[in-house]
Chain A
Amino acid sequence: MLVIKELHKSYPIGDSSLHVLKGINLSVEEGEMVAIMGSSGSGKSTLLNIIGMLDEADSGDYILDGLPIKNLTEKKAAVYRNKFLGFIFQSFNLINYKNALENVALPLYYQGMKRKERQEKAMFYLEKVGLKNWSHHLPKELSGGQNQRVAIARALAANPKLLLADEPTGAMDSNTSYEIITFIQQLNDEGKTILMVTHEEDIANMCKRIVRLRDGIIMEDKIINQVRIEQHV
């Protein structure tokens, strides 16, 4: 599904440069649910951004579903992102003047889907996240948990191969966090591959595999026993 070899990335800071990723090797199979952990500055977000084609590595290989991701033009990157990837952000990143339905339909718009079909599909995913009755509300009229579910619906709408989540529960109280993570677990049960950056142990423990980063290298990579939410409540 996803193979990364000897990935390096550094950012220029003034005259010197900050070496953020110092040779990452990682491969993720289809159907996995991986938590990437590490303190801030460990390079976990940078790694996720490179996997999400929002950023480019300095050196190393990154192969997604058999396709080498390298030297992409902006146009091609846009097409790949649209086709392969679904993003879930800590701050939701919904467009604030669009209602829930329009937000979910947006990736479908960029796929060139017809308006009617787009709205039907968006409604289907909204129903899936349990927000059918909130479809015409603006983000500011929804709670944090609801917004994140809209964002998840949006990430699912384009039916991507890989879901990338950057601290999806970072801005939530624990009840809402568990609600969201349960939902992500359900998606994983249905076969979606999920990559999640988090710094919360309990959230990471609800994944199937934890990759720990420190100072730009992988410290630990282990398969764990997934904690299901039901056990918490």
Chain B
Amino acid sequence: MFDIDLWREIFQSINKNRTRSLLSGFTVTFAILLFTILFGIANGLKNTFKEAFADDVTNAIFVRSGRTTKAHKGLQAGRRIQFKNEDFNYLIDEFDHKIEFISARIYRNVSAIYKNEHNNYNVRAVHPDHQFLERTIIHEGRFINQNDLVYKNKVIVIGRLVAKDLFIKEDPLGKYLNLNGIPYKVIGIFKDKGGDNEERLIYMPVSTAQQIYGNNDYIDQINLSYKPDLTFDQAINFGNDISKKLKNRFSVANSDQRAIRVFNMASQTQGVRKMNVVLGIIILIIGLGTLTAGIVGISNIMIFIVKERTKEIGIRKALGASPRSIVSIILAESIVITTIAGYLGLLIGIGVLEWIGPSLKDYFITDPGVRPSMIITATLTLIAAGTLAGYVPAQKASNIKPIVALRND
């Protein structure tokens, strides 16, 4: 039931006793302010972690080759393992139902020349799926497609910084860039969140690179991602399976760590996930801690307030106030003060985060902030906190005997 007179009473009491109300509100404002800032910073840390892994998919597996370190099946140690197109196709045939995206990689270093500008860049010759594996963002034009692969087109997709370096005040799209003496048509410009190095790259079709650099079907590395519905254990097993099958295919000893190397992001992702859980628990403890301190603070001050108002409560009782109406006055006052003061803290906290947020990037804190859903949670929490804080003082107030209250003057 909404009792307008009760609210009038409460606001009059708060308004006429401003110092007292401010004092009790201050604790809560401070607690919530502290909580908001800590929460925001913790959130920022979380975001940093997220961003650190943002440029690559987290379900990726990389397969690389090297020289054998152990003799096996009559073959000597020191033999060089070289992947070819058929090994790439073998993986697709063997694990089709578990693979989400797959791409080969050939690494080359080229010197690029456009008009008067020149520079050295790393080239990655890849399949079209590579765009999704590396989370390459197409800024202009398009990425390499199946057609380029089939016709071995001399086309390239260049990084944002490559375009910036070489094409002064010119749109690179459709222009021909000279790489080691051979002109390639620029069909796209990409961005990458991985940092500057990732944006100083050039992508070309794997088939084109194979034809131009040695006319063979060699592959330096195979990148793939497993289907996201695989559980953690399945993902680990999948990585182990690839390793085992390839070692068998190349007659490499199972214990040989160099010849075939499989990096499974699943094992690293697990670490990050654990870190996030721990961070979440820390946030929760900090939050509950500060909130508890705030509740205890306001409860203390409310008890003091009840003591100060003993006489007033006595008068009210002598005039016919029921214990219940005394409880509701104190309780509602506590809730109102807590909620208003809490919101003030929340607003200041958000303001502070907005203000200092950008300058915190250097300290591994990215985009610290409080989600809107927090506001609703905060409201409910504050009302609950106010009730909790006011309960003991309100009970104390309702137990005041009017005769005792009126005597002490």
Contact = CB atoms under 8 A, between A and B. Distances in A.
B320 A110 contact: yes
Interface string A99-114: 0001000110111000
A59 interface: no
Interface string B309-324: 0011011111111111
Contacts of B322: 74-75, 78-79, 110
A74 B5 CA distance: 22
A81 B403 contact: no
A74 B323 contact: yes
A78 B406 contact: no
A7 interface: no
Most chain A beta carbons < 10 A, residue from B17, B320, B401: B320
Interface string A78-97: 11011100010101011101
A111 B319 CA distance: 10
Given A54-B403, A91-B409, A93-B311, A78 B5 contact: no
A191 B177 CA distance: 113
Contact of B402 (A54, A79, A102, A110): A54
Interface residues of A, number: 28
A158 interface: yes
Contact of A98 (B12, B314, B317, B320): B12
A98 B319 CA distance: 15
A158 B312 CA distance: 19
Contacts, number: 67
Interface in A137-188: 154, 158
Given A54-B403, A95-B312, A109-B5, A75 B323 contact: yes
A87 B5 contact: no
Interface residues of B, number: 28
Interface string B1-27: 000110011001100110000000000
A107 B323 contact: no
B305 to A, nearest CB: 13
B341 to A, nearest CB: 20
A52 interface: yes
A128 interface: no
A202 interface: no
Contacts of B17: 97
Given A95-B312, A97-B12, A98-B12, A154 B406 contact: no
Nearest to B9: A109
Most chain A beta carbons < 10 A, residue from B17, B318, B325: B318
B319 A97 contact: no
Interface in B352-402: 398, 401-402
Contact of A93 (B13, B16, B318): B318
A205 interface: no
Nearest to B311: A93
B5 A110 contact: no
A5 interface: no
Contact of B319 (A49, A75, A110): A110
A79 B317 CA distance: 10
B403 A82 contact: no
Nearest to A89: B406
A55 interface: yes
A158 B320 contact: yes
A111 B406 contact: no
Contact of B320 (A55, A81, A93, A94): A81
A87 to B, nearest CB: 5
A97 B388 CA distance: 27
A115 interface: yes
B323 A93 contact: no
Nearest to A78: B322
Contacts of B403: 49, 54-55
A95 B5 contact: no
Contact of B406 (A93, A94, A110): A93
Contact of B323 (A78, A94, A98): A78
Given A75-B324, A98-B12, A106 B406 contact: no
B285 to A, nearest CB: 41
Given A55-B403, A93-B406, A110 B321 contact: yes
Interface of B: 4-5, 8-9, 12-13, 16-17, 311-312, 314-325, 398, 401-403, 406, 409
7 tightest CB-CB pairs across the interface, nearest first?
A82-B320, A97-B16, A110-B320, A54-B403, A107-B319, A78-B322, A93-B315
5 contacts: A49-B403, A55-B403, A74-B322, A79-B322, A89-B406
Given A49-B403, A109-B9, A111-B320, 14 more contacts: A52-B318, A54-B318, A54-B401, A74-B323, A75-B324, A83-B320, A89-B406, A91-B409, A95-B312, A95-B316, A97-B12, A106-B319, A115-B8, A154-B319
